[in-house]
Amino acid sequence: MVEAAAAFLAAIGRTTLNFFAVAGRLTTFAGRSIAASVRPPFYPRLIAAQMVQIGYFSLPVVGLTALFTGMVLALQIFLGSARFNAESAVASIVVIGITRELGPVIAGLMVAGRVGAAIAAEIGTMRVTEQIDALETLSTDPFRYLVAPRLLAAAVTLPVLVLIGDLVGVFGAYLVGVYKLGFSPATYIQNTMDFLETIDVVSGLVKASVFGFLIALMGCYHGYYSRGGAQGVGAATTLAVVSASILLLSADYVMTELFFVQ
Amino acid sequence: MNRLPKSPDLSREAGTPKIRLRGLCKGFGPKRVLDGVDLDVAQGESVVVIGGSGTGKSVLLKCIIGLMRPDAGSVEVDGVEVSGLRGAALDDVRRKFGMLFQGAALFDSLPVWENVAFGLIEGRGMARTEARESALRDLARVGLDEDVAGLSPAELSGGMKKRVGLARAIATKPEILFFDEPTTGLDPIMSDVINDLIVKCTRELGATAVSITHDMASARKIADRVAMLHGGRIVWQGPVADIDRSGSDFVEQFIHGRANGPIHVEAAAR
Protein backbone atom coordinates (compact mmCIF):
# COMPACT_ATOMS: atom_id res chain seq x y z
CA MET A 1 0.00 0.00 0.00
CA VAL A 2 2.78 2.39 0.99
CA GLU A 3 4.78 1.38 -2.08
CA ALA A 4 1.82 2.04 -4.35
CA ALA A 5 1.32 5.49 -2.82
CA ALA A 6 5.02 6.23 -3.21
CA ALA A 7 4.94 5.13 -6.85
CA PHE A 8 1.87 7.33 -7.45
CA LEU A 9 3.58 10.34 -5.88
CA ALA A 10 6.74 9.61 -7.85
CA ALA A 11 4.73 9.54 -11.08
CA ILE A 12 3.18 12.93 -10.21
CA GLY A 13 6.64 14.27 -9.40
CA ARG A 14 8.09 13.00 -12.67
CA THR A 15 5.24 14.49 -14.68
CA THR A 16 5.59 17.83 -12.88
CA LEU A 17 9.35 17.92 -13.44
CA ASN A 18 8.92 17.00 -17.10
CA PHE A 19 6.32 19.73 -17.52
CA PHE A 20 8.62 22.39 -16.07
CA ALA A 21 11.58 21.06 -18.06
CA VAL A 22 9.62 21.35 -21.31
CA ALA A 23 8.21 24.76 -20.34
CA GLY A 24 11.72 26.00 -19.54
CA ARG A 25 13.16 24.64 -22.77
CA LEU A 26 10.34 26.13 -24.81
CA THR A 27 10.73 29.52 -23.11
CA THR A 28 14.47 29.51 -23.75
CA PHE A 29 13.88 28.46 -27.37
CA ALA A 30 11.32 31.25 -27.84
CA GLY A 31 13.70 33.79 -26.28
CA ARG A 32 16.59 32.76 -28.56
CA SER A 33 14.25 32.77 -31.55
CA ILE A 34 12.95 36.28 -30.86
CA ALA A 35 16.49 37.55 -30.24
CA ALA A 36 17.61 35.99 -33.54
CA SER A 37 14.66 37.61 -35.33
CA VAL A 38 15.52 41.17 -34.29
CA ARG A 39 19.33 41.07 -34.51
CA PRO A 40 21.41 40.93 -37.72
CA PRO A 41 22.42 39.12 -39.82
CA PHE A 42 19.03 38.92 -41.52
CA TYR A 43 18.34 36.65 -44.46
CA PRO A 44 15.90 38.52 -46.75
CA ARG A 45 16.07 35.82 -49.46
CA LEU A 46 15.07 33.15 -46.95
CA ILE A 47 12.34 35.34 -45.44
CA ALA A 48 10.91 35.98 -48.92
CA ALA A 49 11.05 32.27 -49.76
CA GLN A 50 9.25 31.41 -46.53
CA MET A 51 6.62 34.09 -47.18
CA VAL A 52 5.87 32.39 -50.48
CA GLN A 53 5.76 28.96 -48.84
CA ILE A 54 3.64 30.02 -45.89
CA GLY A 55 1.50 32.70 -47.48
CA TYR A 56 1.09 32.15 -51.20
CA PHE A 57 0.81 28.37 -51.11
CA SER A 58 -1.70 28.52 -48.23
CA LEU A 59 -4.05 30.78 -50.20
CA PRO A 60 -6.13 27.96 -51.77
CA VAL A 61 -6.77 26.13 -48.50
CA VAL A 62 -7.46 29.33 -46.54
CA GLY A 63 -9.65 30.75 -49.32
CA LEU A 64 -11.76 27.60 -49.67
CA THR A 65 -12.27 27.13 -45.92
CA ALA A 66 -13.13 30.83 -45.54
CA LEU A 67 -15.62 30.66 -48.41
CA PHE A 68 -17.51 27.67 -46.98
CA THR A 69 -17.28 29.00 -43.43
CA GLY A 70 -18.92 32.25 -44.54
CA MET A 71 -21.62 30.37 -46.44
CA VAL A 72 -22.43 28.05 -43.53
CA LEU A 73 -22.34 30.93 -41.06
CA ALA A 74 -24.87 32.93 -43.07
CA LEU A 75 -27.17 29.94 -43.30
CA GLN A 76 -26.96 29.03 -39.61
CA ILE A 77 -27.36 32.61 -38.37
CA PHE A 78 -30.36 33.08 -40.63
CA LEU A 79 -31.99 29.88 -39.35
CA GLY A 80 -31.16 30.68 -35.73
CA SER A 81 -32.21 34.32 -35.85
CA ALA A 82 -35.50 33.36 -37.55
CA ARG A 83 -36.59 31.94 -34.16
CA PHE A 84 -36.82 35.48 -32.77
CA ASN A 85 -37.48 37.39 -35.99
CA ALA A 86 -33.97 38.86 -36.29
CA GLU A 87 -33.12 37.65 -39.83
CA SER A 88 -31.99 41.13 -40.83
CA ALA A 89 -28.99 40.80 -38.50
CA VAL A 90 -27.38 38.09 -40.65
CA ALA A 91 -24.98 40.38 -42.52
CA SER A 92 -23.76 42.23 -39.45
CA ILE A 93 -23.29 39.09 -37.31
CA VAL A 94 -21.50 37.29 -40.14
CA VAL A 95 -19.01 40.10 -40.73
CA ILE A 96 -18.28 40.55 -37.03
CA GLY A 97 -17.96 36.79 -36.50
CA ILE A 98 -15.62 36.35 -39.44
CA THR A 99 -13.36 39.33 -38.86
CA ARG A 100 -13.07 38.92 -35.10
CA GLU A 101 -12.97 35.14 -34.71
CA LEU A 102 -13.59 32.73 -37.52
CA GLY A 103 -11.27 34.33 -40.07
CA PRO A 104 -8.13 34.25 -37.91
CA VAL A 105 -8.96 30.99 -36.11
CA ILE A 106 -9.89 28.97 -39.20
CA ALA A 107 -6.93 30.34 -41.18
CA GLY A 108 -4.66 29.72 -38.18
CA LEU A 109 -5.76 26.10 -37.82
CA MET A 110 -5.41 25.47 -41.56
CA VAL A 111 -1.93 26.99 -41.62
CA ALA A 112 -1.00 25.06 -38.46
CA GLY A 113 -1.90 21.84 -40.24
CA ARG A 114 -0.19 22.73 -43.50
CA VAL A 115 2.77 24.88 -42.53
CA GLY A 116 3.44 23.88 -38.91
CA ALA A 117 3.78 20.25 -39.96
CA ALA A 118 5.99 21.14 -42.93
CA ILE A 119 8.31 23.28 -40.80
CA ALA A 120 8.64 20.55 -38.16
CA ALA A 121 9.29 17.89 -40.80
CA GLU A 122 11.90 19.99 -42.63
CA ILE A 123 13.83 21.10 -39.55
CA GLY A 124 13.43 17.67 -37.94
CA THR A 125 14.93 16.00 -41.00
CA MET A 126 17.77 18.53 -40.95
CA ARG A 127 18.38 17.65 -37.30
CA VAL A 128 18.48 13.86 -37.72
CA THR A 129 20.63 14.06 -40.87
CA GLU A 130 23.15 16.35 -39.10
CA GLN A 131 22.42 19.30 -41.41
CA ILE A 132 21.91 21.55 -38.37
CA ASP A 133 25.27 20.39 -36.98
CA ALA A 134 26.78 21.19 -40.39
CA LEU A 135 25.29 24.70 -40.24
CA GLU A 136 26.92 25.26 -36.85
CA THR A 137 30.31 24.02 -38.01
CA LEU A 138 30.03 26.52 -40.88
CA SER A 139 29.69 29.29 -38.26
CA THR A 140 26.01 29.86 -39.05
CA ASP A 141 23.53 30.20 -36.21
CA PRO A 142 20.57 27.88 -36.94
CA PHE A 143 18.27 30.23 -34.99
CA ARG A 144 19.10 33.06 -37.38
CA TYR A 145 19.25 30.96 -40.53
CA LEU A 146 16.37 28.52 -39.97
CA VAL A 147 14.09 29.74 -37.18
CA ALA A 148 14.01 33.53 -37.55
CA PRO A 149 13.01 33.60 -41.26
CA ARG A 150 10.12 31.23 -40.57
CA LEU A 151 8.92 33.20 -37.53
CA LEU A 152 9.08 36.53 -39.35
CA ALA A 153 7.46 35.19 -42.51
CA ALA A 154 4.61 33.53 -40.60
CA ALA A 155 3.96 36.56 -38.37
CA VAL A 156 3.82 38.86 -41.42
CA THR A 157 1.97 36.68 -43.93
CA LEU A 158 -0.77 35.27 -41.72
CA PRO A 159 -2.50 38.67 -41.28
CA VAL A 160 -2.47 39.05 -45.07
CA LEU A 161 -3.94 35.58 -45.45
CA VAL A 162 -6.58 36.38 -42.84
CA LEU A 163 -7.48 39.65 -44.56
CA ILE A 164 -8.02 37.76 -47.81
CA GLY A 165 -9.89 35.03 -45.89
CA ASP A 166 -12.14 37.68 -44.30
CA LEU A 167 -13.05 39.09 -47.71
CA VAL A 168 -13.68 35.64 -49.19
CA GLY A 169 -15.73 34.56 -46.14
CA VAL A 170 -17.92 37.67 -46.26
CA PHE A 171 -18.32 37.14 -49.99
CA GLY A 172 -19.42 33.51 -49.37
CA ALA A 173 -21.99 34.74 -46.86
CA TYR A 174 -23.11 37.39 -49.36
CA LEU A 175 -23.67 34.73 -52.02
CA VAL A 176 -25.84 32.66 -49.66
CA GLY A 177 -27.60 35.74 -48.31
CA VAL A 178 -28.49 37.12 -51.73
CA TYR A 179 -29.03 34.00 -53.85
CA LYS A 180 -30.33 31.56 -51.24
CA LEU A 181 -31.95 33.63 -48.51
CA GLY A 182 -33.35 36.39 -50.68
CA PHE A 183 -31.62 39.48 -49.27
CA SER A 184 -31.26 42.46 -51.56
CA PRO A 185 -27.58 42.89 -52.56
CA ALA A 186 -27.52 46.57 -51.66
CA THR A 187 -29.14 45.99 -48.26
CA TYR A 188 -26.78 43.11 -47.47
CA ILE A 189 -23.70 45.20 -48.27
CA GLN A 190 -25.11 48.20 -46.41
CA ASN A 191 -25.75 46.09 -43.27
CA THR A 192 -22.28 44.63 -43.53
CA MET A 193 -20.59 48.04 -43.71
CA ASP A 194 -22.80 49.75 -41.11
CA PHE A 195 -21.97 47.38 -38.30
CA LEU A 196 -18.31 46.71 -39.08
CA GLU A 197 -15.82 48.65 -36.91
CA THR A 198 -12.10 49.10 -37.34
CA ILE A 199 -11.36 47.20 -34.14
CA ASP A 200 -13.11 44.12 -35.52
CA VAL A 201 -10.66 43.88 -38.41
CA VAL A 202 -7.59 45.07 -36.50
CA SER A 203 -8.11 42.63 -33.63
CA GLY A 204 -8.39 39.78 -36.14
CA LEU A 205 -5.16 40.80 -37.88
CA VAL A 206 -3.27 41.14 -34.59
CA LYS A 207 -4.52 37.70 -33.59
CA ALA A 208 -3.40 36.35 -36.96
CA SER A 209 0.11 37.70 -36.47
CA VAL A 210 0.35 36.09 -33.03
CA PHE A 211 -1.04 32.82 -34.42
CA GLY A 212 1.54 32.88 -37.22
CA PHE A 213 4.31 33.35 -34.67
CA LEU A 214 3.00 30.49 -32.52
CA ILE A 215 2.58 28.11 -35.47
CA ALA A 216 6.12 28.73 -36.74
CA LEU A 217 7.54 28.59 -33.21
CA MET A 218 5.95 25.19 -32.52
CA GLY A 219 7.06 23.82 -35.88
CA CYS A 220 10.63 25.00 -35.36
CA TYR A 221 10.76 23.89 -31.70
CA HIS A 222 9.53 20.35 -32.27
CA GLY A 223 11.65 19.98 -35.41
CA TYR A 224 14.78 21.34 -33.72
CA TYR A 225 14.51 18.90 -30.82
CA SER A 226 13.40 15.87 -32.83
CA ARG A 227 15.38 12.69 -32.23
CA GLY A 228 15.45 9.13 -33.48
CA GLY A 229 15.22 9.18 -37.26
CA ALA A 230 12.00 9.00 -39.26
CA GLN A 231 9.89 8.06 -36.23
CA GLY A 232 11.17 11.07 -34.32
CA VAL A 233 10.45 13.39 -37.23
CA GLY A 234 6.92 11.97 -37.52
CA ALA A 235 6.32 12.52 -33.81
CA ALA A 236 7.68 16.08 -34.09
CA THR A 237 5.27 16.81 -36.94
CA THR A 238 2.26 15.59 -34.96
CA LEU A 239 3.33 17.46 -31.83
CA ALA A 240 3.87 20.65 -33.82
CA VAL A 241 0.33 20.64 -35.20
CA VAL A 242 -1.35 19.62 -31.94
CA SER A 243 0.57 22.05 -29.72
CA ALA A 244 0.20 24.92 -32.20
CA SER A 245 -3.58 24.33 -32.40
CA ILE A 246 -3.99 24.27 -28.61
CA LEU A 247 -1.77 27.31 -28.10
CA LEU A 248 -3.58 29.14 -30.88
CA LEU A 249 -7.02 28.60 -29.34
CA SER A 250 -5.87 29.52 -25.83
CA ALA A 251 -4.10 32.64 -27.14
CA ASP A 252 -7.31 33.50 -28.99
CA TYR A 253 -9.25 33.54 -25.73
CA VAL A 254 -6.64 35.68 -23.97
CA MET A 255 -6.50 38.19 -26.81
CA THR A 256 -10.30 38.36 -27.08
CA GLU A 257 -10.41 39.29 -23.40
CA LEU A 258 -7.69 41.89 -23.89
CA PHE A 259 -9.39 43.46 -26.92
CA PHE A 260 -13.05 43.34 -26.02
CA VAL A 261 -13.63 42.73 -22.29
CA GLN A 262 -13.17 45.86 -20.20
CA MET B 1 37.81 -8.21 -14.96
CA ASN B 2 40.10 -6.87 -17.61
CA ARG B 3 41.35 -3.47 -16.47
CA LEU B 4 41.89 -0.71 -18.97
CA PRO B 5 45.47 0.50 -19.27
CA LYS B 6 46.24 4.07 -18.21
CA SER B 7 46.21 6.70 -20.93
CA PRO B 8 49.63 7.03 -22.57
CA ASP B 9 51.97 9.71 -21.22
CA LEU B 10 51.75 12.77 -23.48
CA SER B 11 54.33 14.89 -21.69
CA ARG B 12 57.00 13.80 -24.19
CA GLU B 13 55.47 16.00 -26.87
CA ALA B 14 57.06 19.41 -27.09
CA GLY B 15 55.40 22.69 -28.13
CA THR B 16 51.73 23.64 -28.26
CA PRO B 17 49.67 21.04 -30.07
CA LYS B 18 47.05 22.17 -32.57
CA ILE B 19 44.43 20.30 -30.52
CA ARG B 20 44.90 19.25 -26.93
CA LEU B 21 42.38 17.22 -24.95
CA ARG B 22 42.79 16.64 -21.24
CA GLY B 23 40.51 14.64 -18.97
CA LEU B 24 37.57 14.96 -21.34
CA CYS B 25 34.40 13.47 -19.86
CA LYS B 26 30.91 13.25 -21.29
CA GLY B 27 27.97 11.20 -20.06
CA PHE B 28 24.34 10.70 -20.97
CA GLY B 29 22.30 9.87 -17.87
CA PRO B 30 24.09 7.09 -16.01
CA LYS B 31 26.18 6.13 -19.05
CA ARG B 32 29.66 7.64 -19.12
CA VAL B 33 30.70 7.70 -22.77
CA LEU B 34 33.97 9.62 -22.41
CA ASP B 35 35.79 9.06 -19.16
CA GLY B 36 38.94 11.15 -19.17
CA VAL B 37 40.21 11.31 -22.74
CA ASP B 38 43.72 12.72 -23.17
CA LEU B 39 44.88 13.34 -26.73
CA ASP B 40 47.24 15.72 -28.51
CA VAL B 41 47.20 16.42 -32.24
CA ALA B 42 50.22 18.24 -33.61
CA GLN B 43 50.13 20.91 -36.32
CA GLY B 44 49.81 19.25 -39.74
CA GLU B 45 49.34 15.79 -38.27
CA SER B 46 46.57 13.38 -39.29
CA VAL B 47 45.24 11.46 -36.30
CA VAL B 48 42.64 8.74 -36.72
CA VAL B 49 40.61 7.66 -33.71
CA ILE B 50 39.47 4.06 -34.03
CA GLY B 51 37.07 2.15 -31.86
CA GLY B 52 33.98 -0.01 -31.97
CA SER B 53 30.45 1.20 -32.48
CA GLY B 54 29.08 3.08 -29.47
CA THR B 55 32.47 3.76 -27.91
CA GLY B 56 32.03 7.54 -28.14
CA LYS B 57 34.06 8.44 -31.23
CA SER B 58 31.38 10.76 -32.61
CA VAL B 59 30.81 12.25 -29.16
CA LEU B 60 34.53 12.96 -28.92
CA LEU B 61 34.48 14.76 -32.27
CA LYS B 62 31.36 16.75 -31.34
CA CYS B 63 32.97 17.84 -28.05
CA ILE B 64 36.02 19.14 -29.93
CA ILE B 65 33.92 21.04 -32.48
CA GLY B 66 31.63 22.47 -29.82
CA LEU B 67 28.47 20.68 -30.92
CA MET B 68 28.39 19.05 -27.48
CA ARG B 69 29.50 20.50 -24.18
CA PRO B 70 31.78 18.16 -22.20
CA ASP B 71 30.88 17.46 -18.56
CA ALA B 72 34.50 17.90 -17.51
CA GLY B 73 37.95 18.31 -18.96
CA SER B 74 39.58 20.63 -21.39
CA VAL B 75 39.61 21.14 -25.16
CA GLU B 76 42.32 23.48 -26.42
CA VAL B 77 42.76 24.63 -30.01
CA ASP B 78 46.03 26.46 -30.67
CA GLY B 79 46.49 26.67 -26.90
CA VAL B 80 43.13 28.38 -26.31
CA GLU B 81 40.47 26.71 -24.20
CA VAL B 82 37.36 26.35 -26.38
CA SER B 83 35.06 24.04 -24.43
CA GLY B 84 33.20 26.87 -22.66
CA LEU B 85 32.90 29.18 -25.67
CA ARG B 86 29.56 30.35 -27.05
CA GLY B 87 28.24 32.64 -29.77
CA ALA B 88 30.68 34.77 -31.74
CA ALA B 89 33.74 33.47 -29.86
CA LEU B 90 32.83 29.89 -30.76
CA ASP B 91 32.11 30.91 -34.37
CA ASP B 92 35.59 32.44 -34.59
CA VAL B 93 37.16 29.14 -33.52
CA ARG B 94 34.93 27.20 -35.89
CA ARG B 95 36.21 29.26 -38.81
CA LYS B 96 39.38 27.20 -38.41
CA PHE B 97 37.38 23.99 -38.89
CA GLY B 98 36.08 22.04 -41.84
CA MET B 99 34.10 18.87 -41.39
CA LEU B 100 32.97 15.95 -43.51
CA PHE B 101 29.96 14.36 -41.86
CA GLN B 102 29.17 10.65 -41.92
CA GLY B 103 26.13 11.08 -44.18
CA ALA B 104 27.68 14.18 -45.84
CA ALA B 105 24.88 16.33 -44.27
CA LEU B 106 24.38 18.33 -47.44
CA PHE B 107 21.64 20.96 -47.31
CA ASP B 108 18.69 19.51 -49.24
CA SER B 109 17.28 22.90 -50.13
CA LEU B 110 20.43 24.14 -51.89
CA PRO B 111 22.09 23.04 -55.13
CA VAL B 112 25.50 21.40 -54.95
CA TRP B 113 27.52 24.56 -55.65
CA GLU B 114 25.70 26.51 -52.92
CA ASN B 115 26.39 23.69 -50.48
CA VAL B 116 30.09 23.96 -51.27
CA ALA B 117 30.08 27.76 -51.20
CA PHE B 118 27.91 28.02 -48.06
CA GLY B 119 30.78 28.75 -45.68
CA LEU B 120 32.17 31.37 -48.06
CA ILE B 121 28.85 33.16 -48.58
CA GLU B 122 27.39 32.97 -45.07
CA GLY B 123 30.54 32.64 -42.99
CA ARG B 124 32.93 34.91 -44.92
CA GLY B 125 30.48 37.24 -46.67
CA MET B 126 31.87 36.47 -50.14
CA ALA B 127 29.83 37.62 -53.17
CA ARG B 128 27.76 34.82 -54.70
CA THR B 129 29.38 34.96 -58.15
CA GLU B 130 32.87 34.81 -56.68
CA ALA B 131 31.82 32.05 -54.26
CA ARG B 132 30.39 30.04 -57.17
CA GLU B 133 33.70 30.20 -59.03
CA SER B 134 35.51 29.08 -55.90
CA ALA B 135 33.00 26.24 -55.37
CA LEU B 136 33.52 25.02 -58.94
CA ARG B 137 37.29 24.91 -58.33
CA ASP B 138 36.76 22.92 -55.12
CA LEU B 139 34.40 20.53 -56.89
CA ALA B 140 37.10 19.99 -59.53
CA ARG B 141 39.62 19.21 -56.78
CA VAL B 142 37.41 16.32 -55.62
CA GLY B 143 36.86 15.10 -59.18
CA LEU B 144 33.42 16.55 -59.89
CA ASP B 145 32.73 18.65 -62.97
CA GLU B 146 30.56 21.70 -63.52
CA ASP B 147 27.54 19.62 -64.55
CA VAL B 148 27.16 18.48 -60.95
CA ALA B 149 27.14 22.02 -59.58
CA GLY B 150 23.51 22.70 -60.38
CA LEU B 151 22.16 19.36 -59.17
CA SER B 152 20.30 18.93 -55.92
CA PRO B 153 21.89 16.67 -53.26
CA ALA B 154 18.99 14.20 -53.70
CA GLU B 155 20.22 13.54 -57.25
CA LEU B 156 23.71 12.42 -56.13
CA SER B 157 25.04 8.94 -55.37
CA GLY B 158 26.58 8.17 -51.94
CA GLY B 159 30.14 8.59 -53.26
CA MET B 160 29.29 11.89 -54.94
CA LYS B 161 27.68 13.19 -51.76
CA LYS B 162 30.88 12.41 -49.86
CA ARG B 163 32.92 14.24 -52.48
CA VAL B 164 30.64 17.27 -52.29
CA GLY B 165 30.85 17.08 -48.48
CA LEU B 166 34.64 17.04 -48.78
CA ALA B 167 34.57 19.99 -51.19
CA ARG B 168 32.41 21.90 -48.68
CA ALA B 169 34.80 20.99 -45.86
CA ILE B 170 37.85 22.38 -47.71
CA ALA B 171 36.09 25.36 -49.33
CA THR B 172 37.00 27.81 -46.57
CA LYS B 173 40.60 26.52 -46.48
CA PRO B 174 40.36 25.46 -42.84
CA GLU B 175 43.33 24.85 -40.57
CA ILE B 176 41.76 21.73 -39.08
CA LEU B 177 39.72 19.10 -40.90
CA PHE B 178 37.44 16.60 -39.19
CA PHE B 179 36.25 13.43 -40.87
CA ASP B 180 33.39 11.46 -39.30
CA GLU B 181 33.38 7.89 -40.65
CA PRO B 182 34.36 9.11 -44.15
CA THR B 183 34.00 5.73 -45.86
CA THR B 184 30.88 4.34 -44.14
CA GLY B 185 28.33 3.09 -46.64
CA LEU B 186 30.69 3.16 -49.63
CA ASP B 187 32.00 0.23 -51.67
CA PRO B 188 35.72 -0.58 -51.27
CA ILE B 189 36.75 1.17 -54.49
CA MET B 190 34.86 4.37 -53.71
CA SER B 191 36.20 4.18 -50.15
CA ASP B 192 39.72 4.17 -51.53
CA VAL B 193 38.91 7.11 -53.81
CA ILE B 194 37.59 9.08 -50.82
CA ASN B 195 40.64 8.13 -48.74
CA ASP B 196 42.96 9.34 -51.51
CA LEU B 197 41.03 12.60 -51.78
CA ILE B 198 41.22 13.11 -48.02
CA VAL B 199 44.99 12.63 -48.06
CA LYS B 200 45.39 14.88 -51.12
CA CYS B 201 43.17 17.70 -49.84
CA THR B 202 44.64 17.63 -46.34
CA ARG B 203 48.20 17.80 -47.70
CA GLU B 204 47.39 20.56 -50.19
CA LEU B 205 45.90 22.68 -47.43
CA GLY B 206 48.62 21.77 -44.94
CA ALA B 207 45.78 21.13 -42.52
CA THR B 208 45.66 19.18 -39.30
CA ALA B 209 43.20 16.29 -39.54
CA VAL B 210 41.22 14.33 -36.99
CA SER B 211 39.22 11.41 -38.30
CA ILE B 212 37.10 8.79 -36.62
CA THR B 213 36.47 5.44 -38.23
CA HIS B 214 36.20 1.74 -37.65
CA ASP B 215 37.41 1.06 -41.20
CA MET B 216 41.00 -0.09 -40.75
CA ALA B 217 41.83 0.25 -44.45
CA SER B 218 40.82 3.88 -44.23
CA ALA B 219 42.75 4.39 -40.99
CA ARG B 220 45.92 2.91 -42.45
CA LYS B 221 45.65 5.14 -45.52
CA ILE B 222 44.88 8.52 -43.97
CA ALA B 223 46.55 8.37 -40.56
CA ASP B 224 49.95 9.55 -39.42
CA ARG B 225 49.01 8.40 -35.94
CA VAL B 226 46.22 6.18 -34.63
CA ALA B 227 44.50 6.38 -31.25
CA MET B 228 42.13 3.72 -30.01
CA LEU B 229 39.13 4.73 -27.92
CA HIS B 230 37.61 2.15 -25.61
CA GLY B 231 35.81 2.34 -22.31
CA GLY B 232 35.72 6.13 -22.57
CA ARG B 233 39.49 6.50 -22.75
CA ILE B 234 42.36 6.33 -25.22
CA VAL B 235 43.76 2.88 -24.55
CA TRP B 236 46.56 3.04 -27.13
CA GLN B 237 48.05 5.53 -29.50
CA GLY B 238 51.05 5.49 -31.78
CA PRO B 239 52.28 5.88 -35.36
CA VAL B 240 50.16 4.06 -37.90
CA ALA B 241 53.19 1.96 -38.84
CA ASP B 242 53.23 0.53 -35.29
CA ILE B 243 49.61 -0.54 -35.19
CA ASP B 244 50.38 -4.16 -36.04
CA ARG B 245 52.82 -4.39 -33.14
CA SER B 246 50.96 -2.23 -30.67
CA GLY B 247 51.21 -4.68 -27.79
CA SER B 248 47.64 -3.75 -26.86
CA ASP B 249 45.11 -6.57 -26.62
CA PHE B 250 42.36 -4.08 -27.41
CA VAL B 251 44.03 -2.93 -30.62
CA GLU B 252 44.95 -6.48 -31.62
CA GLN B 253 41.38 -7.65 -31.22
CA PHE B 254 39.95 -4.64 -33.01
CA ILE B 255 42.22 -4.56 -36.07
CA HIS B 256 41.83 -8.30 -36.62
CA GLY B 257 38.09 -8.21 -35.96
CA ARG B 258 38.16 -11.04 -33.46
CA ALA B 259 35.02 -11.90 -31.49
CA ASN B 260 37.10 -13.05 -28.53
CA GLY B 261 39.25 -10.72 -26.52
CA PRO B 262 39.11 -8.06 -23.82
CA ILE B 263 36.49 -5.98 -25.59
CA HIS B 264 34.10 -8.93 -25.80
CA VAL B 265 34.89 -9.98 -22.21
CA GLU B 266 33.98 -6.54 -20.93
CA ALA B 267 30.73 -6.48 -22.87
CA ALA B 268 29.79 -9.90 -21.52
CA ALA B 269 30.66 -8.91 -17.94
CA ARG B 270 28.12 -6.05 -17.95
The answer as to whether A5 is a domain residue is: no
Top pLDDT among A124 and B266 is at A124
Q: Give per-residue pLDDT as tens, A68-113.
A: 999 999 999 999 988 888 888 899 999 999 999 999 999 999 999 9
Q: Give per-residue pLDDT as tens, A196-225.
A: 999 999 999 999 999 999 999 999 999 999
Q: Which of residues 140-199 of A touch B (CB under 8 A)?
A: 140-141, 145
Q: Which domains does chain B have, with CATH numbers?
A: 19-96+174-269 (3.40.50.300)
Mean pLDDT, rounded, of chain A: 93
Report the SS3 class of residue B110.
Answer: coil
Using CB atoms, which residue from B92, B94, B106 is nearest to A137? B94
A43: closest chain B residue by CA: B122
The answer as to whether A21 is a domain residue is: no
B122: closest chain A residue by CA: A140
Handedness of CA A214, A220, A224, A228 (dihedral sign): positive
Top pLDDT among B11 and B229 is at B229
**pLDDT value at B53 more than 50:** yes
Q: Which band of pLDDT confidence, cut at 50, 70 and 90, is reported for residue B14?
A: low
Closest by Cα among A173, A165, A171 to A212: A165
Q: Which band of pLDDT confidence, cut at 50, 70 and 90, is reported for residue A262?
A: low
| Chain B residues whose C-beta sits inside 8 Å of any chain A C-beta | 62, 65-67, 91-92, 94-95, 97-99, 101-103, 105-108, 118-119, 122-123, 168, 172, 178
Q: Tell me the shortest Cα–Cα distance from A44 to chain B, in angstroms.
A: 13
**Can you give the residue range of the structural domain that contains A139?**
42-260
The answer as to whether A201 is a domain residue is: yes
The answer as to whether A190 is a domain residue is: yes
Mean pLDDT, rounded, of chain B: 87
Percent of chain B with pLDDT over 70: 92
Using CB atoms, which residue from A126, A134, A139 is nearest to B101? A134
Q: Give per-residue pLDDT as tens, B63-88.
A: 999 999 999 999 999 999 998 888 88
Cα angle at A18 between A32 and B65, to 5 degrees?
45
Q: Which band of pLDDT confidence, cut at 50, 70 and 90, is reported for residue A3?
A: confident
Angle between helices B188-205 and B128-141 (to 10 degrees): 120
Cβ–Cβ gap A134/B107 under 8 Å: yes
ipTM for this prediction: 0.85
Q: Give per-residue pLDDT as tens, A154-194.
A: 999 999 999 999 999 999 999 999 999 999 999 999 999 99
Number of structural domains in chain A: 1
The answer as to whether A13 is a domain residue is: no
In chain A, residues with a C-beta closer than 8 Å to the C-beta of B98 are: 137
Using CB atoms, which residue from A133, A141, A145 is nearest to B105? A133
A236 in Cβ contact with A226 (< 8 Å): yes
Q: Which band of pLDDT confidence, cut at 50, 70 and 90, is reported for residue B9?
A: very low
Using CB atoms, which residue from A129, A136, A139 is nearest to B95? A139
**pLDDT value at B146 more than 70:** yes
The answer as to whether A36 is a domain residue is: no
The answer as to whether A207 is a domain residue is: yes
DSSP collapsed to 3 states, chain A:
CHHHHHHHHHHHHHHHHHHHHHHHHHHHHHHHHHHHHHCCCCCHHHHHHHHHHHCHHHHHHHHHHHHHHHHHHHHHHHHHHHHHCCHHHHHHHHHHHHHHHHHHHHHHHHHHHHHHHHHHHHHHHHHHCCHHHHHHHCCCCHHHHHHHHHHHHHHHHHHHHHHHHHHHHHHHHHHHHHHCCCCCHHHHHHHHHHHCCHHHHHHHHHHHHHHHHHHHHHHHHHHHCCCCHHHHHHHHHHHHHHHHHHHHHHHHHHHHHHHHCC
- Whether A225 and chain B come into contact, CB under 8 Å, resolves to no
